[in-house]
Amino acid sequence: MRRHLADKDGEVRELTADDVRSFKPIAEVDPGMVEAMKEFRRKVGRPKALSPKKHIGFRLAAEIVEGIKATGPGYNARVEKALREALELGTLEPAKPEASAKSAKETAARAALQRKLHRAPKRAVSKRTA
């Protein structure tokens, strides 16, 4: 005869190896519980944003970064707000097409030069003694 796992007060007794062997998988005992747990896990965590933010990377002068961070916690939101206002007011000037093309050409030329320099054989430096 199998003993109850809990007494009349609801206290669970120490489990034995036989108790553990008699356990059944939750999917056999209560398949609805498996689906409920899957649904619960989908809902856990931060809700999905309607318009998620995108990560971009660009370089700023060190003193600009220090100045922004010195304004305290929440500086990301303040920078975003300032940029949004600048866009709405039209104070951000779009890049000039010819400047973009020129900088793209310059970037490509620099990259080609770097590759060429990187592949060039290194010349031995001779030391002259007087």
Q: Is residue 68 part of a domain?
A: yes
The H or E element spanning position 49 is none
Place of tokens 């922004």: 68
Cα–Cα distance measured from residue 87 to residue 81, given in angstroms and rounded to the nearest whole number: 10
In tens digits, the chain (130 residues) has pLDDT values of 677 888 889 999 999 999 899 899 999 999 999 999 998 888 878 888 888 889 888 899 999 999 999 999 999 999 999 999 988 888 877 777 665 566 777 888 888 887 777 765 556 555 655 4
In 3-state terms, what secondary structure has residue 27? helix
Q: Is residue 14 part of a domain?
A: no
Q: Is residue 13 part of a domain?
A: no
Under 8 Å between Cβ of 91 and 82: no
Cα–Cα distance measured from residue 40 to residue 33, given in angstroms and rounded to the nearest whole number: 10
Cα–Cα distance measured from residue 3 to residue 19, given in angstroms and rounded to the nearest whole number: 9
Q: Is residue 19 part of a domain?
A: no
**Six-digit token pair at 130?**
């007087």
Cα–Cα distance measured from residue 18 to residue 77, given in angstroms and rounded to the nearest whole number: 59
Q: Is residue 33 part of a domain?
A: no
What range defines the domain where residue 78 resides?
Answer: 62-114
Place of tokens 């007011």: 89
Under 8 Å between Cβ of 40 and 33: no
CB-based contacts of 79, cutoff 8 Å, min separation 6: 68
For the chain, the domain total comes to 1
Q: Is residue 97 part of a domain?
A: yes
Q: Is residue 81 part of a domain?
A: yes
Q: Is residue 103 part of a domain?
A: yes
